[in-house]
Amino acid sequence: MEIVQVFKVLSDETRFKLINLLLTHDLCVGALAHHLGISEAAVSQHLKQLREVGLVKGEKRGYWTHYTVERNKLSELAEFVKELTSLLPCPEGVCIKKLNKKNDCHKEGVKMCDCKCQYPEKLIGKPEECTLEQIKECHGDTKEHPCEDEKEQPRMCKTE
């Protein structure tokens, strides 16, 4: 299950309501449309997306298909979110230039940041507007401003 895709599908209010309804009732498209006050075609489209990410399944009962939630998939999603809450912050802080790289900062001897931007929370705008004191406070050095990068939006040291 692609976790980001599942979150995208669940981010739609109607699909979220469908999941809530289907957690307590096995319903067909017509019943779902009636409960939500939308067309059967709209319900079918929403169910298609929920099926594609594995959150619901349909079971043929006579002429109609009744839908149910794949509770094990929902549980996997809940477990993933629960695991996110147990992640510990990196003791070295976060490096703006390395945010997109996968670093395990909790391994012994691994330093998260080697570009001197140990305090990105102090940067908000253009580096050229920082005073020497602010640069020194942020980076411990006044020779250059290490957070200036043409690819990134320029940042400025906060004045507090």
State the CATH number of the domain containing residue 72: 1.10.10.10
pTM of the model: 0.58
Are 55 and 73 members of one domain?
yes
pLDDT at position 124: 53
Are 158 and 121 members of one domain?
yes
Are 65 and 115 members of one domain?
no
Q: How far apart are CA 124 and CA 154, in angstroms?
A: 8
Are 153 and 93 members of one domain?
yes
Q: Given 80, 98, 114, which residue is the final one in a domain? A: 80
pLDDT at position 140: 60
Q: What angle do CA 100, 106, 109 make, to 5 degrees?
A: 100
Overall average pLDDT of the 1-7 stretch: 85
Q: How many residues does the chain have?
A: 160
CA nearest to 44, candidates 29, 65, 58:
29
Q: What angle do CA 30, 31, 34 make, to 5 degrees?
A: 90
pLDDT at position 86: 83
Are 7 and 36 members of one domain?
yes
Are 67 and 108 members of one domain?
no
Overall average pLDDT of the 69-74 stretch: 94
pLDDT at position 44: 96
**Domains in the chain: how many in total?**
2
pLDDT over threshold 80, residue 116? no
111 compared with 32, residue with greater pLDDT: 32
Are 58 and 119 members of one domain?
no
The pLDDT confidence band at residue 88, using thresholds 50, 70 and 90, is confident
Structural domain span for residue 108: 89-160
Q: Would you say 56 and 47 are in contact if contact means Cβ atoms under 8 Å apart?
A: yes
Are 98 and 52 members of one domain?
no
Q: Given 46, 80, 114, which residue is the final one in a domain? A: 80
pLDDT at position 149: 47
Overall average pLDDT of the 52-78 stretch: 94
Q: For a pLDDT cut of 90, what percent of the chain falls above it? A: 48
- Going by the DSSP 8-state scheme, the letter that residue 157 receives in this structure is B
Are 58 and 8 members of one domain?
yes
Instruction: Write down the mean pLDDT value for the chain.
Output: 76
Region of poorest pLDDT, from 21-30, 37-46, 71-80, 111-120: 111-120
Are 13 and 72 members of one domain?
yes
Q: Given 57, 80, 103, which residue is the final one in a domain? A: 80
Are 68 and 17 members of one domain?
yes
pLDDT at position 84: 85
Are 155 and 97 members of one domain?
yes
